[in-house]
Structure 1
């Protein structure tokens, strides 16, 4: 199942697949990250009530991403990552590890920086109308300003990584035909 190789035709076989849990966490987190980037960037010029409503969803979704990422990390600790197919060039292997490390770091640090920013700005985070998250610190305008800047910088870094990740996946699928994407295909 999770370790079965997948026949791709033309004599190529992909590496074993990730577990179903890892695959679904990947796609849930990935779609949530893309939605959150869109909420942050595309609602900026909208009327204040619309923008604030979108930011409420953005904040709650950010917390959801944080929780799902922690679940994914815990899951990954107990489940070995399938090896890359032999068709993946040696120079891409360490690059892949660096990009994945940066993703995990940002998936943790980006929501935490937003939470810290909102805490320092004395603006509680409402989790989809269910409850408010506790503040991490007391009101501190200087810290709020700093965390705002860092949150935006990390958000732009995440956007760049998402674009690189999608382009690399498309390259592996349609140019290289390496079979690497089959490891994360949910279907």
Structure 2
């Protein structure tokens, strides 16, 4: 039995773990994204005031995701992720890199598209009642309509990518038994 296999069996991980900062940023961003997708999808059809309150939280959470993602990217530039186990196939490594790149792109583009949309609609974002996020473009109804559509497409893309990511993690953990989930376990 290899040292990596022994480590995976005894600790539930596939070798070295991500740093604690990377782990906590991962989970904070993940929970915020899941909450935001839920807020966007589950408030449709609710009374106008309830929907407005939920969307105010959605917008502030989106700005939070953007800020945390910038921090995570900066952290990642200075801290390389742990290597994958040798048992991970080349095509899976490639898909993992593509998936992570797409996540980072979406984690920037999705909140930015919402911010541009709200700015173009002439509605500054209230950041949890603490302060207003300034608009970044002049009001423009045509741009607001385009950004609304793009924001929805990016949101659905994020939902699909998150589902694929979760399914891949479950497969690696319970089918392949690589212990990869333990590398990102905050506890």
Q: Under TM normalisation by the shorter chain, which class is it?
A: over 0.9
Matches of residues 20-35 of structure 1 in structure 2 within 5 Å? 20-35=20-35
Q: Which residues in structure 2 correspond to 1:3-82 (within 5 Å)?
A: 7-9=7-9, 14-82=14-82
Residue of structure 1 in register with 2:110 after alignment: 110
Q: CA deviation at 1:47?
A: 0.7
How many Å apart are 1:13 and its aligned residue?
6.5
Residues 13, 143 of structure 1: alpha-carbon distance in 2 compared, 3 angstrom cutoff: closer
Kindly indicate whether the alpha-carbon contact (under 8 Å) linking 2:7 and 2:15 is maintained by their aligned counterparts in 1: no
2:137 counterpart residue number:
137
The alignment's TM-score, normalised by the length of structure 2, stands at: 0.94
* Structure 1: stretches of 5+ with no match in the other structure: none
Distance 2:13 2:91 in 1: 21
**Shift of the alpha carbon at 1:6?**
8.0
Instruction: Give 1:97 shift.
Output: 0.3
Shift of 1:43: 0.5
Distance 1:106 1:62, change over 3 A: same
Length, aligned pairs only: 183
Q: 2: distance between equivalents of 1:14 and 1:135?
A: 45
Aligned with 1:135: secondary structure?
Answer: coil
Equivalent residue, structure 1, for 2:177: 177
- Specify the alignment match of 1:151 in structure 2: 151
**CA separation of 1:41 and 1:6: change in aligned 2, threshold 3 A:** farther
Task: Indicate the structure with greater helix content.
Answer: 2
Q: Name the CA shift for 1:142/1:27 in 2 (closer, same or farther; >3 Å).
A: same
Structure 2: any 5+ residue segments left out of the alignment? none
Q: How much has 1:8 moved relative to structure 2?
A: 2.5
* Two-structure CA RMSD over aligned residues (Å): 1.7
- Quote the Cα distance in structure 2 between the aligned partners of 1:9 and 1:150: 45
Secondary structure class of the residue paired with 1:146: helix
In the TM superposition, residue 9 of structure 1 has moved relative to its aligned partner by: 2.0
